Chain A
Amino acid sequence: MKVTRDEVLRLARLARLSLADDELPKLEADLSRIVDYVAELGKVDTSEVSDAPRVGPTAAPLRDDEVRVGLPRAAALAAAPRVVDGAFAVPEFVDES
């Protein structure tokens, strides 16, 4: 299957990546080849498989419902690129118009 330039750009939008024009030709070629390769899975007879497999514990264990100390706010904020009034700061994004 050919993964077109438009398809790469659609995926990039979904994945929140802005790709430079010079990145696109190689991504189109690589993704087309990889998608062709993994498409072999479609030929495997999986009619006998009922559920998706699971790994690890069969049920998620529950812990006691007790209040515990978490990460202190100052530590959580210490590596943030921008902090305002004890909170992570980002550009405005609410469109009130």
Chain B
Amino acid sequence: MSPLSLPIAELARRVQAGSVTAEAVARESLKAIADRRGLNAFLHVSEHATLEHASALDARRARGETLGALAGVPIAIKDALCTLDAPTTCGSKILAGWRSPYEATVVSRLRAADALLVGKTNMDEFAMGSSNENSAFGPVKNPWDETRIPGGSSGGSAVAVAAGMTLGALGSDTGGSIRQPAALTGTVGIKPSYGRVSRYGLVAFASSLDQVGPFARDVPSAARILAVIAGHDPRDSTSSAAAVPDYEAACQRDVRGLRVGVPEDYFGPGLDAEVADHVRAAIARLEADGACVVPIAMPHTRHGVATYYVLATAEASSNLARFDGVRFGLREERPGSDLGTLYDSTRSAGFGPEVKRRILLGTFVLSAGYYDAYYAQAQRVRALIRRDFERAFAQVDVIATPTSPTAAFPLGERVADPLAMYLADVYTLPASLAGVAALSLPVGRTRSRLPVGLQLIAPAFAEERLLSVAAACERAAP
């Protein structure tokens, strides 16, 4: 049996015990990555460093050392996270080949837990996209149907796990960029509460929304990665000092008596009928397990897309100002050109069309004359969306919805229509705007064998409850 087919806890136990060597796992993972190169999931594979690290782990074990919670577990890293031994491009030409002088805290934590960091995964440029077609390095393909998109923006990370190249991956989720590709590739993806995981070393997109989170094939495996990366980081003042509970133990609890809220606002026009059927069937299985299903109202859900695209683009227009050709990355300079021209030509040559579109939109909503009508009003609507969640969580313990309105759509289908692409995130955006905890897990396949995801949402810092319900869903799957 391939070590890559094991749950993470079982593989780590075997590597710790020496019944499987980290080197053998590393070779399997690197081979699987090479075999599936056509999916374009990886932008960089750290072959040499991974094999060296694996041998070092085996040597430490042989000396009697106890290895960490992710001993020998191959994990892929979204290319939005800074790494020392591999380039960090964020899917953009403006950072092609760039080597970060420091490492993201989450990457250091995985390393400290003895994970094998096999490489960096493809993504929509600067995490702006829902299909992975906005990568400057070509789209990622969905392993269940290579003519379809894997979701985005963390599409490469989702595919690394879905296609069995790694057992886990890190992504980042600003408006759905972990949950939506998880749903479309049949993996588990967690967007932790705002402040649960350090963002030090994550290339910033929209700082009031960005969170780092894990992908895995099953809920307890995702819980183990989350436990390793969560917790306060002195280098990120938005990271919470709240203690990190035992997330894997939470996966064993049953759901009897838990109240599951189902907002009809998430089941309206635009939701594919097959997706709706699978999501409702999964909720019915929770009810059969003893959970109480409670209809709830979240009336501001329908404003999530507009609110998000005002606030996220405003923040992005500011965050992406740092890419100017002076300190790192691409520089476009002609003899005799002045500093202003250097900025303009560097940014124009380095950013792709979607990034430019969002920077311009963000500049528009922040500019004189439009600020109050767009940016300030979106902040007020965000408060109403948050209030929807506060009211819902006064009545229920978790909320269950579809993750994505459709299964994976064909490559190219929405490229020309940015608004249609934005609507792919209609169900994931509200939880991001509210800063609460959410995840997606697979609950079935369409007749064309495409995965369908269920989104579960819990209050901020209630990841344990989220994982209990998700693990119960997983156990109840037919």
A16-B329 in contact given A56-B238, A79-B99 (Cβ < 8 Å):
no
Asked if A97 is an interface residue, CB under 8 A from chain B, the answer is no
Residues of B close to A38: CB separation below 8 A: 306, 309-310, 365, 374, 378
Q: Would you call the interface of chain B mostly helix, strand, loop, or mixed?
A: helix
Asked if B303 is an interface residue, CB under 8 A from chain A, the answer is yes
A34-B328 in contact given A56-B195, A91-B333, A91-B338 (Cβ < 8 Å):
no
Residues of B close to A30: CB separation below 8 A: 357, 418
Decide: A14 and B374 in contact? CB cutoff 8 A: no
Interface residues of A in 54-97 (CB under 8 A from B): 55-57, 60-61, 63, 71, 75-76, 78-82, 88, 90-93
Interface footprint category on A? 35 or more
Decide: A19 and B326 in contact? CB cutoff 8 A: no
Asked if B381 is an interface residue, CB under 8 A from chain A, the answer is yes
A75-B101 in contact given A31-B360, A38-B310, A61-B241 (Cβ < 8 Å):
yes
What is the distance, in angstroms, from A36's C-beta to the closest C-beta of chain B? 9
Decide: B357 and A31 in contact? CB cutoff 8 A: yes
**Partner-binding segment picked from B36-44, B184-192, B382-390, B446-454:** B382-390
Residues of A close to B341: CB separation below 8 A: 18
A49-B360 in contact given A55-B435, A75-B101, A93-B340 (Cβ < 8 Å):
no
Decide: A11 and B356 in contact? CB cutoff 8 A: no
Q: Which residue of A lies closest to B194 (CB)?
A: A55
Decide: B328 and A79 in contact? CB cutoff 8 A: yes
A56-B309 in contact given A17-B360, A44-B381, A90-B342 (Cβ < 8 Å):
no
Decide: B359 and A78 in contact? CB cutoff 8 A: no
A42-B234 in contact given A78-B99, A91-B337 (Cβ < 8 Å):
no
Residues of B close to A56: CB separation below 8 A: 194-195, 208, 238, 240, 435
Q: Which residue of A lies closest to B373 (CB)?
A: A42
Decide: B360 and A41 in contact? CB cutoff 8 A: no
Q: Total number of A-B contacts with CB less than 8 angstroms?
A: 166
Interface residues of A in 7-32 (CB under 8 A from B): 7-8, 11-12, 14-20, 23, 26-27, 30-31
Decide: A11 and B348 in contact? CB cutoff 8 A: no
Residues of A close to B266: CB separation below 8 A: none
Residues of B close to A27: CB separation below 8 A: 356-357, 360
Q: Determine the distance from Cα of A44 to Cα of B301 in the docked complex, in whole angstroms.
A: 12
Write the residues of chain A forming the contact surface with B, with a CB cutoff of 8 angstroms.
3, 7-8, 11-12, 14-20, 23, 26-27, 30-31, 33-35, 37-42, 44, 46, 49, 51-53, 55-57, 60-61, 63, 71, 75-76, 78-82, 88, 90-93
**Which 6 A-B pairs have CB atoms at the shortest separation, nearest pair first?**
A81-B331, A46-B380, A55-B435, A93-B339, A79-B328, A18-B344
Question: Can you list 19 A-B contacts with CB-CB less than 8 angstroms, sorted by A residue number?
Answer: A15-B359, A16-B344, A16-B347, A18-B347, A34-B309, A37-B306, A39-B374, A41-B310, A46-B381, A52-B379, A53-B386, A55-B194, A55-B434, A56-B208, A56-B240, A79-B101, A79-B328, A91-B338, A91-B342
Write the residues of chain B forming the contact surface with A, with a CB cutoff of 8 angstroms.
98-99, 101-102, 194-195, 208-209, 234, 237-238, 240-241, 300, 303, 305-307, 309-310, 317, 321, 324-331, 333, 337-345, 347-348, 351, 353, 356-357, 359-361, 363-365, 367, 373-374, 376-384, 386, 418-419, 422, 434-435
